[in-house]
Structure 1
Amino acid sequence: MTPPTLGQAPSQQHRMRAIGAGSAHAKAILLGEHAVVYGAPALALPIPQLTVVASAGRSPDSTDDQDDVLSTMTASASRQLVTEASGSLGRLVTEAKAYLGVLDSPRLDVIVDCAIPPGRGLGSSAACARAIVLALAELFDRRMSEGETFDLVQTAENVAHGRASGVDARAVGAPAPLVFQGGEAHELAVGCDGLFIIADSGDVGRTKDAVELLRTEFLRRPGAREEFVRRAWNLTDEARRALAAGRPRKLGACLTDNHELLRAAGLSTDRIDTLVDTALAAGSLGAKITGGGLGGCVIALTEMGQAREVTRRLHAAGAARTWAVPLKGPSRHAR
């Protein structure tokens, strides 16, 4: 679905609430990053404890025709990252207003309070975009379908990252783990309990650089793309079956094998590899880099009894911070 042009937007006179609010959460890719762009499936995990809240309302300064997006990053972020995010979110506000048919509305202030560290592969940009879209829809008392929300968020993601697969735009609003393929998302069947420990390496990931590195390698070696996608696809399918069947050790092995695939493609770093090795040595069932690569985070599947030791040793190995995301099964979300 393509967002309508201004001429196609709703024509009724807009009504404004005093304030509109929207929220979204972080996500982590379990398996399938990069390959998902080429049609393979990817598995994504919502991280509900890392959130974004956006508030939108009439600006007291009506002399300026430009929208003002005020970003408050509660997680540490460089000034450059905040500036880049503010610019892309400002464009999103304009596009969302055009979609809603309210470009002639008074100047707005949109405040974004983001607890998701940017540049870590956790979906910060997509979550901010979703929160803003929902805040504007509420401000102007408009109902938006999930598909309409996705389209606007995906437009912003394509600006931020180039060719975006769409998995982030779906996952930052998902209530449960999901499988994403070819633009379609479905909830995953979960048949086992466990705990995912996510460790921030402290290094900003470079998704665009990682995508270009992989593309160059695919052009340099005939058949490299097909082999990469085939292996990633098989691992993701194996992991999906293991997750549904309640086989956490098999799921963990798939995570580790996927990391080796990404590492061999040059998408990992020494620090990421150290954190993966540390998690495995501490008793994790599997561990890998998550997200675009060249920095960012590690995700490790851990049994509850090992979680404290895994977390302790990850911090000792240099992790800037960690988060624990429970995996519960049999899931009420299973199909």
Structure 2
Amino acid sequence: MRESASWLAPGRVNLIGEHTDYNDGFVLPLAIEYGCRASISPGPDGVLRFVSAQESDPVDIRIPALQPERVTGWAAYPAGVLWALDVDLPGLTITVDSDVPLGAGLSSSAALTCSVAGAANDLLELGLSPRELVAVARRAENGFVGAPTGGMDQLISMLGKAGSVLFCDMRTLDVRPVPFTLDADGLALLVVDSKAPHKHADGEYAARRRSCERAAHVLGVTALRDATLSDLDKLATDSEGEELVKRARHIITENQRVQDVVALLDSGRVREIGPLLTASHASMRDDFEITVPEVDVLVEALLGAGAYGARMTGGGFGGCVIALLDADAVDAASRAVAEAAGARGFAAPHAFVTSPAAGAHALDGSNAG
């Protein structure tokens, strides 16, 4: 076993394709500059020690206690990775330091699990491929933490490419980098953290997933990726008909929007994706019902400030909004969202410009290889 290993894994912004991942659909995320650094080294026999720069106290776990539901709080995520590796573990010390904003919908959890997975793979010399590490990180969140995520976050955190969004088919897990270099076109992608608290987010996320599964069952398809708009009439007769129609309509139209955005980007017609971003937000607001007033106000403010398109990004019920803007409009747009939030008595938002960053990787200076 090596002396130590250190990895960095990024958070993410999803350009478009919300809640389509667990419906075997299409997503178009990008890795961002914010990330989590994980360092792992040998520790006391029989003990896993988890240390976070963001937490005051370390968490010690005896290796026999490494089981779902026996570890809670932030340490459940790195603990889940070690559990998902399904190997005999020595005593280890896992140290993490993340600058991904918590609660912003930028996938701080995937940054954490993917960085730990990469570092553990190197330290223990397991020889797992990046694709296999994606599966480990996803199993940690689904099987250990109990978070019903669809896999997009781990995929982009591990496989992201600088200068590109990643077109992902969540059924086959095929991915294709699509160039997204906005500077050349005088554009910028502005991210605005609404600071809205994620009220009931976990329960509502699970409820949306159940509705999608119910709709697919009623339609007799494997997943809503296989449904079409002409199928919606078949859902109307179900006992949950009105809700199922709305949920399915969002997934069907969102999958199409993702493909339309990819086609435009492939053709170099970047500004033309704006209306599709805005249509995605309207669908999340009206059909999937996952937005909150704070993010709706920010979207309207950004559009009023000249954005080509704007939408909430992430699972919903708070979090961030993104906008495609001319680069010289960023300052004015940032002021506009601050004023709009202040006028409604909302928390002051935090805005920053982002561009696609590299996916998870070993850090220079570690003994990883």
Q: Of 239, 245, 254, which aligns to 2:261?
A: 239
Answer whether contact 1:92 1:129 (CA < 8 A) is retained. yes
Q: Structure 2: which 5+ residue stretches go unaligned?
A: 56-70, 215-239, 342-346, 358-369
Q: Of 173, 184, 203, which aligns to 1:209?
A: 203
CA-CA distance at 1:191 after TM superposition: 7.5
Report what 2:303 is aligned to.
280
Q: Distance in 1 between matches of 2:73 and 2:181?
A: 41
Aligned counterparts, 1:128-143, within 5 A: 128-143=112-127
What's the TM-score, normalizing by structure 2? 0.74
Which amino acid in 2 is paired with 1:291? G
Q: Secondary structure, in 3 states, of the residue corresponding to 1:67?
A: strand
State the Cα deviation string for residues 19-65 of structure 1 (Å, max 9, x = none).
Answer: 11111011111111112221221110111x20110011122x44xx3
Report what 1:313 is aligned to.
336
State the Cα deviation string for residues 73-126 of structure 1 (Å, max 9, x = none).
Answer: 39xxxxxxx962212322322333x34xx42x2x11101101112232211111
Q: Distance in 2 between matches of 1:204 and 1:118?
A: 11
Report what 1:195 is aligned to.
188
Which amino acid in 2 is paired with 1:68? R
Q: Distance in 2 between matches of 1:188 and 1:92?
A: 30
Aligned counterparts, 1:1-335, within 5 A: 16-47=1-32, 49-59=33-43, 61-62=44-45, 65-73=46-54, 84-96=73-85, 98-99=86-87, 102-103=88-89, 105=90, 107-159=91-143, 160=145, 162-173=147-158, 174-175=160-161, 176-181=164-169, 182=171, 183-190=173-180, 193=185, 194-205=187-198, 207-215=201-209, 220-221=240-241, 222-264=244-286, 265-316=288-339, 317=341, 318-326=347-355
Q: Distance in 1 between matches of 2:295 and 2:355?
A: 22
Superposition CA RMSD, Å = 2.4
Answer whether contact 2:148 2:206 (CA < 8 A) is retained. no
CA-CA distance at 1:142 after TM superposition: 4.1
The number of residues matched between the two structures is 297
Stretch deviating more after TM superposition (297-306 or 136-145): 136-145
Q: Secondary structure, in 3 states, of the residue corresponding to 2:95?
A: strand
Q: Structure 1: which 5+ residue stretches go unaligned?
A: 1-15, 75-81, 329-335
Stretch deviating more after TM superposition (292-301 or 190-199): 190-199
